[in-house]
Homo-oligomer: A and B are copies of this chain.
Amino acid sequence: MDGTGRRAVRRSDALTKARIVAAAIEVLDADKSGDGSALTLRALMTQLTTGSGAIYHHVATMDELRGLAADEVLRSPFDSANEADPNDALLAATLAIFDSIQAHPWVGGQLTRSAIQPAVVRIWKTIALQLERLGIHGQAGATAGSTLTSFVLGSVANNGSGPSRFANAEERMARLESMSEEWAKRESDPLVQDIATQLREHDDRQQFLDGVRIILRGVAASKE
């Protein structure tokens, strides 16, 4: 209060890096497109009612901000992997990652933009920790961890812009139908038809879980 009644509408809470990240997540979550395209500097300026320079004073680049936002989303749920059986713990940990991204689809696309962002390191750590508990360390652990991480990133990359994530089941169906029709026109190969059919019928989450199980079985088999 400066007594003039004319003071600019200054937000009560000061601008911090954490607040900017939170605002970025809000903007990204509010966008139904699922890719990260909604997060623009100007959208962020509106959300925070501030200028570009203020944001750049706390954050070096928009890419850094995207990385921080993705990491923040993946921060919470990984402690929950307290299963007694380390095998179940690994499944629980990867499923927690999957579900977090399902809830924030834009994270999927963000993770494959760069391997050296904090969120990817976090996933690496989570998986490596559980592998350790499974008694898989050293070179074998690195190979298993790399395989699992690549699988997770690849699984999750297109959850935002891919066939999943539609408002209702009908819209999803319609999209898949048109997709397989499009393929059918271009490709006479019956194999493609099979793929389209499988895509139409599969359950993303179940498929993901099956994939993790396959890899774990392969890791165990390689150990002998």
Residues of A participating in the B interface, judged by any CB pair closer than 8 Å: 109, 112-116, 118, 121, 124-125, 128-129, 132, 142-147, 149-155, 157-158, 161-163, 179, 183, 186-187, 189, 191-192, 194-195, 198, 202, 207, 210-211, 213-222
Contacts and interface: CB of A to CB of B under 8 A. Distances in A.
* Interface residues of chain A: helix, strand, loop or mixed (majority): helix
A59 B150 CA distance: 33
Q: How many copies does the complex hold?
A: 2
Task: In the A-B complex, list the 9 residue pairs whose CB atoms are closest, starting with the nearest.
Answer: A154-B154, A218-B218, A150-B154, A153-B154, A214-B218, A147-B211, A115-B162, A112-B157, A115-B158
Nearest to A154: B154
A89 B114 CA distance: 31
B202 A142 contact: yes
A56 to B, nearest CB: 21
B115 A161 contact: yes
Contact of A218 (B124, B132, B207, B216): B216
